[in-house]
């Protein structure tokens, strides 16, 4: 039987001023847990009611999963009999983050493409198409990145003499443009619950279809979540979701950064999923909680900044917490399926305590609009616009821009699996040590569908180092421009929106594929 263990270090109550227990009692008194599972849209105030009314379907994941899983297993067997055993997922934000976690958890191969960098696209296209099926996931059915990936893969299948309709699987909301178009084209379509937002969709079709096709034991995942559903719906002081929400809310506004570490028992990459879930749900109206997924030896874990609380994620079983209570911060121990439902409930309760609507994302669209405008103005050039700055000037500007009680976000519009990926990780660590603040590293445009909401809508405590590159062989998008032009427009659009909102941005352009390009900055630090 799945279990959930949650333990607090001594610092939680000390820094929270004893508020954690009070906040738990407030949630219990307001029957917040049971009302979430009863789809009570009034929990987050009158202004949030219309949105909340169509966003609580994730609490009823089990019946939909029971219908989906046999279809997924049948399609996987059909593909296997045709020699198709390579699965590519095209999706952004919640459509890709949850399946990536599930694939790591199960140790199966699922090729992800959540980048518009031409080198990343070219790498995925270069795989063996004869044994490839592509899952295209988009809730709205109009996401520009995903639509571009779909058009490019369909063209590649045709060029290889393969009928695209036989290899493309669509996951989208019923009635979306992609739904209607795909049914007309003869593609296989899985409809998701329209009453679930993308970041809460891990246990729905968006999480289950691509991971199930790739070989993840999705029956086990759903069972783990189902076993703790009753516990998480209880209006009691021992409800771990309410305790987690209270612990995080109690440190606000000072401790708004969650330094998320995964213990050896849970190397799933769950931190990246938690980043999107919490940052996009809470980062608005001048509020926000920013999780940053960190590796075990990250500087923020050796000496925790005053604005951060350490949250450790561990695997668990029926005994609850399987690791000692932490000296500091919060330990959350549970199997993966239980972890996902726990964090979704906790995030919803956290929104209640913060007085915000956890289900909207009002500032995500701003960057999309700016990117579309930049794309319309593009002259075919894929070169990002950035000043030529010396390493010393970059560091000086960052020191001036980052508040002592804030954070730095590195926004890397480069190939996330390319030559710069490792040096960027080293740069992140060195900047965290040198500046003494938490440092996030996100790859664009993926982070725009995740923590990008908080960057623009949260408290103005962030500074941003945007890094792009030039010189990668470009990849055309059928009936459009190219991936190089698209990613440059997305970087420019986000820069412009951040600048309009008074967020300081330092932009740097590097040559593509040059591992040593960051050496001067690393040496300066």
Residues 153 and 90 in one domain: yes
Tokens of 393: 């000037």
Residues 175 and 264 in one domain: no
Burial of 320 (0-12, 13-18, 19+ CB in 10 A): middle
Question: What is the mean pLDDT, run by run of 10 residues, along the chain of 525 residues?
Answer: 81 84 97 98 97 97 97 98 98 93 97 97 97 96 94 98 98 96 96 95 98 98 97 97 97 96 92 97 96 96 95 76 73 96 98 97 81 77 66 95 96 96 97 97 94 94 96 95 95 94 95 93 92
Burial of 337 (0-12, 13-18, 19+ CB in 10 A): buried
Residues 241 and 380 in one domain: no
Q: CA–CA separation, 223 vs 2, rounded Å?
A: 9
Residue 356 lies in a domain: no
Residues 396 and 511 in one domain: yes
Residue 30 lies in a domain: no
pLDDT score for 324:
66
Residues 173 and 272 in one domain: no
Residues 295 and 190 in one domain: no
Omega before 287 within 30 of 0, i.e. cis: no
Residues 67 and 214 in one domain: yes
pLDDT score for 367:
76
Residue 467 lies in a domain: yes
Residue that terminates a domain, selected from 191, 220, 249: 220
Neighbours of 408 (CB within 10 A): 23
DSSP conformation letters of 126-161: TS-GGGEEEEEE-SSS--HHHHHHHHHHHHHHHHTT
Q: CA–CA separation, 262 vs 282, rounded Å?
A: 22
- Which residue is listed with tokens 């976690």? 101
Three-state secondary-structure class, residue 258: strand
Owning domain of residue 200 = 59-220
Residues 305 and 397 in one domain: no
Residue 151 lies in a domain: yes
Residues 192 and 298 in one domain: no
Residue 23 lies in a domain: no
Residue that terminates a domain, selected from 282, 315, 335: 335
Residue 407 lies in a domain: yes
pTM of the model: 0.95
Give the CATH number of the domain where residue 170 resides. 3.40.50.10490
Residue 50 lies in a domain: no
Q: Which residues contact 471 (CB under 8 A, 6 or more apart)?
A: 511, 512, 513
Residues 271 and 196 in one domain: no
**Helices 270-282, 94-106: inter-axial angle, 10-degree rounding:** 160
Q: How many domains does the chain have?
A: 3
Residue that terminates a domain, selected from 316, 335, 354: 335
Residues 432 and 484 in one domain: yes
Residue 292 lies in a domain: yes
Omega before 271 within 30 of 0, i.e. cis: no
Residues 209 and 272 in one domain: no
């Amino acid at each position: 039987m799945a279990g959930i263990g949650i333990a607090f270090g001594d610092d939680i109550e000390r820094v929270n001023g004893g508020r954690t227990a009070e906040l738990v009692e407030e949630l219990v008194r307001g029957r917040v847990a049971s009302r979430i599972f009863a789809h009570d849209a009034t929990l987050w105030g009158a202004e949030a009611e219309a949105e909340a009314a169509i966003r609580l379907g994730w609490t009823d994941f089990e019946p939909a999963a029971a219908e989906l899983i046999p279809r997924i297993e049948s399609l996987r067997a059909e593909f296997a009999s045709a020699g198709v055993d390579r699965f590519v997922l095209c999706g952004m934000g919640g459509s890709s983050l949850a399946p990536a976690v599930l694939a790591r958890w199960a140790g199966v191969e699922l090729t992800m493409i959540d980048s518009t960098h031409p080198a990343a696209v070219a790498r995925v296209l270069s795989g063996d198409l004869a044994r490839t099926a592509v899952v295209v996931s988009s809730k709205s059915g109009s996401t520009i990145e995903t639509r571009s990936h779909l058009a490019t893969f369909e063209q590649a299948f045709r060029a290889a003499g393969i009928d695209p309709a036989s290899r493309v699987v669509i996951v989208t909301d019923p009635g979306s443009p992609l739904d209607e178009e795909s049914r007309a084209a003869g593609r296989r379509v899985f409809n998701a619950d329209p009453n679930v937002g993308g970041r809460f969709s891990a246990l729905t079709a968006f999480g289950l279809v691509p991971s199930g096709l790739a070989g993840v034991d999705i029956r086990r995942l759903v069972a783990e979540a189902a076993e703790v559903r009753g516990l998480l719906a209880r209006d009691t002081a021992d409800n771990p979701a309410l305790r987690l929400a209270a612990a995080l809310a109690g440190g606000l506004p000072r401790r708004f950064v969650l330094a998320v570490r995964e213990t050896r028992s849970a190397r799933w990459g769950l931190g990246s999923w938690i980043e999107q879930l919490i940052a996009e749900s809470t980062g608005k109206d001048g509020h926000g909680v920013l999780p940053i997924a960190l590796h075990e030896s990250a500087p923020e874990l050796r000496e925790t900044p005053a604005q951060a609380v350490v949250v450790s994620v561990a695997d668990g079983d029926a005994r609850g917490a399987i690791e000692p209570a932490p000296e500091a911060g919060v330990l959350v121990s549970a199997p993966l399926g239980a972890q996902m439902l726990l964090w979704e409930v906790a995030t919803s309760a956290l929104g209640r305590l913060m007085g915000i609507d956890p289900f909207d994302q009002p500032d995500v669209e701003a960057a999309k609009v700016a990117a579309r405008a930049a794309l319309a103005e593009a002259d075919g050039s894929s070169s990002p616009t950035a000043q030529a700055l010396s390493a010393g000037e970059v560091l000086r500007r960052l020191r001036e821009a980052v508040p002592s009680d804030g954070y730095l976000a590195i926004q890397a519009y480069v190939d996330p699996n390319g030559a710069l990926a490792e040096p960027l990780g080293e740069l992140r660590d060195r900047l965290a040590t040198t500046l003494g603040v938490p440092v996030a590293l996100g790859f664009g445009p993926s982070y725009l569908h995740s923590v990008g909401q908080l960057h623009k809508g949260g408290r103005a405590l962030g500074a941003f180092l945007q890094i792009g590159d030039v010189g990668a062989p470009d990849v055309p998008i059928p009936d459009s421009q190219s991936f190089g032009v698209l990613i440059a427009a997305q970087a420019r659009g986000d820069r412009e929106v951040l600048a309009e909102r008074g967020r300081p941005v330092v932009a740097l352009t590097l040559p593509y594929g040059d591992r040593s390009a960051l050496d001067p900055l690393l040496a300066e630090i």
